Amino acid sequence: MLRRVFPEDSRVLEIAAGSGQHAAFFAAHLPSLRSWQPSDADPDALASIAAWTEGVKSVLPPLLLDVTADDWPIASVDAIVCINLIHIAPVAACEALMRGAGRLLPVGGVLYLYGPYRVAGEHTAPSNAAFDRSLQERDPAWGVRDLDEVTRTAEAAGLRRAEVIPMPGNNLSVVFHRE
Ligand SMILES: C[S@@+](CC[C@H](N)C(=O)[O-])C[C@H]1O[C@@H](n2cnc3c(N)ncnc32)[C@H](O)[C@@H]1O
């Protein structure tokens, strides 16, 4: 998927990189990218990201980046990848992610999201409904987001939904392009 959706020579920003395992794997398997910039809002994640990505050629040192901050510590990217954030954060994080992507991406730039979604208001599997309940028990502000609502938030930030691809485990890949 990522080989196809990220143009060659892209500078990719990863938001909410967590442990850094995705950065290590994807950057190593996408040698045509110019750079992979991992980031996370949790200072403790940065050491893990640095350790996992050590020696992977195109990976830059991790950045502390909270999507809800007014300023993101990066000036220019071609593509943004964000895996498993918007359901494990308040809705404000999704809104801020879209605003930030709208600001930062050039026309035609790619925002790639991965995770579980409700579709037309309904869960796509009983396991996703159970996951949603468990998220809300942990924090009432968390929860599996509705794809149409996420799309409307993206459109308000100047992003057009280009593709929705079913993935294993009842997750979706959702690709937006900056208009
Ligand atoms: C469930 S983890 C996902 C990590 C990784 N992407 C994965 O799929 O394994 C959610 C991550 O989002 C980060 N996060 C939470 N709120 C954030 C925010 N406002 N801005 C950026 N990252 C945030 C957390 O620190 C955590 O690393």
Q: What is the pLDDT of residues 41-82, one digit of tens each?
A: 999 999 999 999 999 999 999 999 999 999 999 999 999 999
Number of folded domains that form the chain: 1
Residue 88 CA from chain centroid, whole number? 12
Q: What is the CATH number of the domain that holds 62?
A: 3.40.50.150
Can you tell me the distance from the alpha carbon of 14 to that of 49, in angstroms, rounded to the nearest whole number? 11
Residue range of the domain that includes 59: 2-178
Q: What is the pLDDT of residues 116-166, one digit of tens each?
A: 999 999 999 999 999 999 999 999 999 999 999 999 999 999 999 999 999
The dihedrals phi and psi of 17, each to the nearest 5 degrees, come to: -75, -15
Per-residue confidence band for 38, with pLDDT thresholds at 50, 70 and 90: very high
Can you tell me the distance from the alpha carbon of 4 to that of 7, in angstroms, rounded to the nearest whole number? 7
Q: Whose CA is nearest to atom 24 of ligand 1?
A: 16
pTM score, two decimals?
0.98
In this prediction, residue 117 carries a pLDDT of 98
For ligand 1, the distance from its centroid to the CA atom of residue 106, given in whole angstroms, is 24
Largest CA distance in the chain: 43
For ligand 1, the distance from its centroid to the CA atom of residue 80, given in whole angstroms, is 14
In this prediction, residue 98 carries a pLDDT of 98
